[in-house]
Amino acid sequence: MKKPDAEKIVGNLSCWSGPVTVTRLEGGISNENFLVEDDGRKFVVRVNGDVPEHGVTRLNDCNCNRAAAAVGVAPAVYHFEPGAIVVDYVEGRTLVESDVYEDRYLYQIVDLIKRTHNDAFRVVRGPVAAFWPFRVCRDYAFFLEENNSTWCSELARLRPLNDDLERSVGQIEFVLGHNDLLAANLLDDGERLWLIDWEHAGFGSPLFDLANLATNNNLSENQERRVLEHYYEGVDDDEITKPFAAMKCASLLREAMWSMVSETQSSLDFDYASYAREYLGRLEVAVEGLEK
């Protein structure tokens, strides 16, 4: 979507009381984001519409965000239209990767994840997507083939790897997950943390969020152990270690293939090819660790 078109969509949303001030927010790698001031209140508007290549629908985004807001995990949804979602603006600082390493943040993040899994799961309403990373990666592979992507040569090894990882994960518990735990999706308002951007949320395994937190933020083995101990509160490590390690590989694979697909379909100014190569390199290291 061209930048002027996105700004026009934001300004013309039906929820505003009159003419509004629209300011573009920089840094997104999936959507165009704007800060809007209307009648003394501030909102964040995410514009992109549905993105079928990534399994993203704004109705699912909205429904999951509303459930998370109802249990105090996410800012409230103010308005929803098929092409945009408007949420309350939270004055605060976006976290960076190094913040996640600190215990004062790490345990708060795990608490947000757990509240999403246990509490938001029970209040979510309306249609909600299923998020299964292995199915996502299969769909990405079909998309790359259909669009003659330069990444097609990688599929012969990535497809069987995806299948092997799925078998290693085994049976799962069923929760509502966020599924995109980048540091940039966490806000500190000075008193507490908020989890934002729910476009990949859906029903799936709690292990994916925990693995995604680990891989997206380069957690150490010690930090990963503390995450699992805090989340599971005494579950036998042997029950979790192998599925968690496999799910970390799945998280890296999904992120790499997300970027491969985005290189083809996104109009945003971002180096998706380099991002995919970075995650493929990290995936190779993680898979080697599985085989030891």
Q: What is the pLDDT of residue 1?
A: 47
β-strand pairing of 84-88 with 41-47: antiparallel
Whole-number mean pLDDT of the chain? 93
pLDDT single digits (tens) 137-170:
999 999 999 999 999 999 999 999 999 999 999 9
pLDDT single digits (tens) 89-120:
999 999 999 999 999 999 999 999 999 999 99
Q: Which of 88, 120, 142 finishes a domain?
A: 88
Same domain, 147 and 222: yes
Same domain, 200 and 267: yes
Does 238 have pLDDT greater than 90? no
DSSP 85-143: EEEE---SEE--HHHHTSHHHHHHHHHHHHHIIIIIHHH--S---B--HHHHHHHHHHH
Mean pLDDT of the region 56-73: 96
Q: What is the pLDDT of residue 290?
A: 86
Q: Which residues pair with 44 in a beta bridge?
A: 35, 87
CATH of the domain at 25: 3.30.200.20
Mean pLDDT of the region 51-64: 93
Which of 216, 58, 205, 47 shows the shortest CA–CA distance to 136?
205
Residues 6 or more apart in contact with residue 286 via CB below 8 angstroms: 215, 245, 248, 249, 252
Which of 212, 209, 241 shows the shortest CA–CA distance to 225?
241
pLDDT band at 18 (very low <50, low <70, confident <90, very high): confident
Q: Which residue segment(s) compose the domain that 38 sits in?
A: 3-88
pTM given for the model: 0.92
Q: Which residue has the higher pLDDT, 4 or 22?
A: 22
pLDDT single digits (tens) 175-201:
999 999 999 999 999 999 999 999 999
Q: Which of 20, 53, 88 finishes a domain?
A: 88
Please say whether the beta carbons of 175 and 205 come within 8 A: yes
Q: How far apart are CA 180 and CA 251, in angstroms?
A: 10
Same domain, 97 and 53: no
Which of 70, 73, 97, 102 shows the shortest CA–CA distance to 192?
73
Does 34 have pLDDT greater than 80? yes
Which of 214, 217, 202, 203 shows the shortest CA–CA distance to 240?
214
CATH of the domain at 228: 3.90.1200.10
